[in-house]
């Protein structure tokens, strides 16, 4: 059902936050990115924004280079190019499911949520602004 003022060609998407958990024993986390997958549009993307000052407030000794490398690796898997390794040949849905699988690392995905959008690129940026920046 379309609401007044909204187009009827919106598609379902799934998204998850990328969180940095620098010190597991403290239970603190920092949102550092968003993943968005829209099957109908074959769209998968990650947008990253690591607030180093906030991260240093949680853990002054955090390995910034390692955390950035882990975030960049997630973005590479989303892009599916050569730098995605074995995941490069997988379809977007399979890559999304692999990324959002629970793991115990410093960079980890949050729970998957859903929504509707006519523009997954704009929605990815909107979610980054709303939930991460």
pLDDT along the chain (133 residues), means of 10: 59 97 89 97 96 95 94 88 65 90 88 97 97 95
Of the candidates 14, 72, 47, 70, the one whose C-alpha atom is nearest the C-alpha of residue 129 is 47
d(CA 92, CA 133): 25
In a domain, 13, yes or no: no
Residue 83's pLDDT is: 61
pTM: 0.85
d(CA 75, CA 33): 10
- Residue 88 domain boundaries: 20-131
Total number of domains constituting the chain: 1
Residue 102's pLDDT is: 85
In a domain, 9, yes or no: no
């Amino acid at each position: 059902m379309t609401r007044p003022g909204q187009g009827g060609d919106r598609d379902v998407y799934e998204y998850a936050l990328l969180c940095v958990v620098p010190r597991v024993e403290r239970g603190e986390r920092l949102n550092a990115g968003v993943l968005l997958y829209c099957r109908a549009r074959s769209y998968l993307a990650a947008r990253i924004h690591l607030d180093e000052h906030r991260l240093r407030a949680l853990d002054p000794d955090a390995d910034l280079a390692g955390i950035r490398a882990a975030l960049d690796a997630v973005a590479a898997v989303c892009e599916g190019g050569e730098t995605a390794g074995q995941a490069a040949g997988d379809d977007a849905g399979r890559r999304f499911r692999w990324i959002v699988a629970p793991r115990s690392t410093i960079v980890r995905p949050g729970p998957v949520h859903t929504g509707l959008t006519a523009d997954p690129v704009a929605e990815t940026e909107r979610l980054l602004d709303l939930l991460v920046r």
